[in-house]
Chain A
Amino acid sequence: MIRWLTAAIFFAATFISGATNAQEETSSSTLYGDLQSVTQSMLARAAGDGNNFLHTNGNYEQTRFYPASQINTSNVKNLRPAWIFQTEVVDSMETSPIVVNGIMYVTTAFNHAYALDARTGKQIWHYKHAMGPVTTYCCGPNNRGVAVSGDKVFMGTLDAKLVALDAKTGKQLWETQIAEPELGYSETMAPSVVEDMVLIGTNGGEYGIRGFVKAFDTETGEEKWTFQTIPENSVGVWATEDATGRNMHRDIEAEKAALAEMGDPYETLGGGVWQNPAVDLETRRVYFVVGNPSPDLDGSLRPGDNLYTDSLVAVDLDTGEYVCHLQYIAHDVWDLDAVSPPIITTVKNEAGEDVKGILHAGKTGHVYVHNADDCSLIRFSEAMVPQEDMWTLPTAEGARMLPGANGGVEWSPMAIDPNHRLTYAINLHQPMTYTVRSTPYPEGKLWLGGSFDVIPDEEQWGNVTAVDYDTGDIAWQVRTEQPMIGGILATAGGLVFTGEGNGLFKAYDSSNGAELWRFQAGAGANAPPSSYTVEGQQYVVVAAGGNAQLNFKRGNNIIAFTLAD
């Protein structure tokens, strides 16, 4: 089957080109700060850095816990906008602002990147990627931001490239073609940088790709290693239950027969990785979650467990070699995959001892707590959203099951507060029907194998949920008017910040969920917030550009808040 695909991927093998002048950039203004280069030691110590925000999810452990407390439960009511920056692109924004020494880097839909003075919002430079003719995106022309290291800024693009920019000027230094865009590969995630490696996965689980995580050289863009998320033997153990012990109603006999007839489906099995990995420098491992199998709803063309889709996976940081995995849903036919970035933190194991753990929030609505040693599951939380009729198989007419295909928790990163030992997740409740329609691999075009459709008459809503990761119990929960997508930030000031599709950006007391502050951002605040401190003044910043997938009002604002005098 589909032998040409191997060849096509071979020919599309990464090529490197030097600096081109195809992109546009503008430089102006006097710079604040010295745009000092970002050292590995700064990146490694980010969790305790109360000035900068150096990683998409705060630090290598991805806790999104910001260690400063100038803005706190007692004064957050005085939080006011310090400045608003409007980008050139009015469309979905999912960027996590990165702040280095008073300079902020943000990105927009269609791969624009900006450097701003983080005190004033004044533009320093603007880079617009010269997009190739073939781009792919299932869910909006999104970008989730940059990674910084040395004097470079890195961004992945919708035409499946990785670009390196000069942090001072925004000039492109190099670009690398990561994979073949005609086959459905593209990039929306922010890359991660460790030492001399830029780590990045791929989108394309809706297009029959074969997923991967790759490491590229920060200086040259050359590939250092690749981990294929889909092994050549993707069959697994014929699991009949999901990670929580519920029967998935697989017809194993039929699958075995299909396997004998069509062989292992690994070449077009999907398994994108489009959120950042958590990095453990101590054990030199990276932990990431792998997305859904292709085609999403039609299991008949992909017999077996479809390893390592819908899984937590750990690989060796230096070689990309497999270390361990845990599959949440084998042979998923609901697109209820694993997306929200994993977090490394100390958790209690079954015996009540502190161990290094990994947290992940699923579209299923559970927070999963793993042992970092071997990826095994210690516990899973109470469901954060209604679950009904799990697991009902998709039908030709459409079968209702909750949660809907967006979750639970979508790509939205969680944040934790290690003092409260709570993890904070934002959820969707969107009742849907699951319909299956089998069609052959369409050569890189959208390939869902059916559809998930919102049930128009049923109410939709969202929530912010705090889960005790030592017990799996829900500590508090606040309902929101709309399904939640974007992300959340926790701070040492006892606060969590998160935004909604209706434009409301809110601060809650992280110990009990009491709402302490709100601001109307004018467009959907559906991006993960960051925080930083410049000249002794703490700020919280969020992008408000709405969301394409949920059709929340689009905008183009980056809004930074600080305490009124």
Chain B
Amino acid sequence: MRLKPAAVALIFAALPAAAAEDFVLENELALCMGCHGENGVPSEPDYPIIWGQEYFYVYTQLRDYAAQRRDNEIMSPIAAEYDRDQAKLLAEHFAAQVWPDIQADLQEGDQQIAERGITGGQCSACHGKWQGDSRIPRLAGQQVGYLLKTMLDFKNEVRMNAPDKISTMKQLDDDTIAALSRYLATVDVQ
């Protein structure tokens, strides 16, 4: 859903000062950490880990949020505050952090269901062993709740900034997507 300009302006007004002129990296990081964690573990199960995420991926996501190609009530107004260079500084910072360890468990049958989905969707063509590389995000060890949400967001045409994922996810039933989320969350980060 597209926020009306007026609504966007309201959110802007409510945000901590982050205008391009008085950008201080530490202050902005404090804002991010409120949700993405002090030590890399996010505050909510369906918030993504961004510590140790790929630099170029983080950067493009911030740009996409800002341009509302990836439209999200929380992140779009935050990202809209940064210009390209500031987004790059934020991305550099998070890419240089260590990916945190989180707890996730497989259910019986997950492995087989997930692998079938992966072959059908030709996922490994881009995602390889799920460790991420440049424009491809790391998914190994990501939060189950976020993986599930973002894959369903693709499927239900909520997340629009990687439109090719939409038809890929539409091929998968919700049980497969749930199994995939648990599977990816348990893949070791190398």
Contact = CB atoms under 8 A, between A and B. Distances in A.
B162 A141 contact: no
A301 interface: no
A139 B128 CA distance: 9
B125 A548 contact: yes
A137 B125 CA distance: 9
A89 to B, nearest CB: 11
A219 to B, nearest CB: 31
A410 to B, nearest CB: 12
B171 A138 contact: no
B125 A140 contact: yes
B124 interface: yes
B93 interface: no
Contacts of A136: 134-135
B163 to A, nearest CB: 4
A134 B125 contact: no
Contact of A451 (B118, B119, B164): B164
Given A549-B125, A551-B118, A442 B69 contact: yes
A133 B55 CA distance: 7
Interface string B128-164: 1100011100000000000000000000000011111
A256 B126 CA distance: 35
A549 B122 contact: yes
A484 interface: no
B111 interface: no
Contact of B162 (A91, A398, A446, A454): A446
Interface string A108-136: 00000000000000000000000001111
Contact of B133 (A139, A141, A448): A141
Interface in A439-459: 439, 442, 445-451, 453-454, 456
A454 B134 contact: no
Nearest to A447: B164
A137 B116 CA distance: 23
Interface centre among B55, B125, B128, B164, by most chain A C-beta atoms within 10 angstroms, is: B164
A551 B124 contact: yes
A135 B163 contact: no
Contact of B134 (A134, A439, A453): A134
B12 interface: no
Interface in A268-306: none
Nearest to B163: A439
B135 A442 contact: no
A435 interface: yes
B126 A135 contact: no
Interface string B92-132: 00000000000000000000000010111110111011000
B60 interface: yes
B66 interface: no
Contact of A138 (B60, B119, B121, B125): B125
B144 to A, nearest CB: 23
B167 A451 contact: yes
B134 A135 contact: yes
Contacts of B126: 137-139, 446
A437 interface: yes
B134 A450 contact: no
A267 B135 CA distance: 22
Contact of A134 (B135, B161, B163): B135
A135 B133 contact: yes
Interface string A310-354: 000000000000000000000000000000000000000000000
Given A135-B133, A453-B120, A454-B122, A448 B128 contact: no
A437 B160 CA distance: 11
B72 interface: no
Nearest to A109: B128
Contacts of A447: 164
B86 interface: no
Interface in A469-487: none
A140 B125 CA distance: 5
Given A136-B134, A445-B135, A453 B162 contact: no
Interface in B33-62: 55-56, 60
A268 B133 CA distance: 24
A437 B166 contact: yes
A133 B161 contact: no
A454 B168 contact: no
- Of the candidates B122, B126, B129, B160, the one having the most CB atoms from chain A within 10 angstroms of its own CB is B122
Contacts of A140: 124-125, 128
Contacts of B133: 135, 141
Contacts of A398: 167, 171
A435 B120 CA distance: 14
Nearest to B171: A453
B57 to A, nearest CB: 10
A139 B127 CA distance: 9
B56 A453 contact: no
Contacts of B161: 442, 445
Given A133-B56, A551-B118, A91 B168 contact: no
- The residue in A138, A139, A446, A451 that gathers the most chain B C-beta atoms within 10 A of its C-beta is A451
A139 B170 CA distance: 21
Nearest to A448: B164
A135 B125 contact: no
A99 to B, nearest CB: 29
A450 B118 CA distance: 18
Contact of B167 (A134, A141, A435, A548): A435
A339 B11 CA distance: 50
A430 B134 CA distance: 29
Contact of B119 (A134, A439, A454, A554): A454
Given A451-B167, A451-B171, A454-B122, 15 more contacts: A134-B56, A136-B134, A137-B126, A139-B125, A140-B125, A437-B164, A442-B161, A445-B135, A446-B126, A446-B164, A453-B120, A453-B122, A549-B125, A551-B118, A551-B122
30 contacts: A91-B128, A133-B134, A134-B56, A135-B133, A139-B126, A140-B124, A140-B125, A182-B56, A398-B167, A435-B167, A437-B163, A437-B166, A437-B167, A445-B161, A445-B162, A446-B126, A446-B164, A447-B164, A448-B163, A449-B163, A449-B164, A450-B164, A451-B168, A451-B171, A453-B122, A453-B168, A454-B120, A456-B119, A548-B125, A550-B122
When A and B form their complex, which 6 residue pairs have the shortest distance between CB atoms, in order from nearest?
A: A451-B167, A439-B163, A135-B134, A448-B164, A549-B125, A435-B167
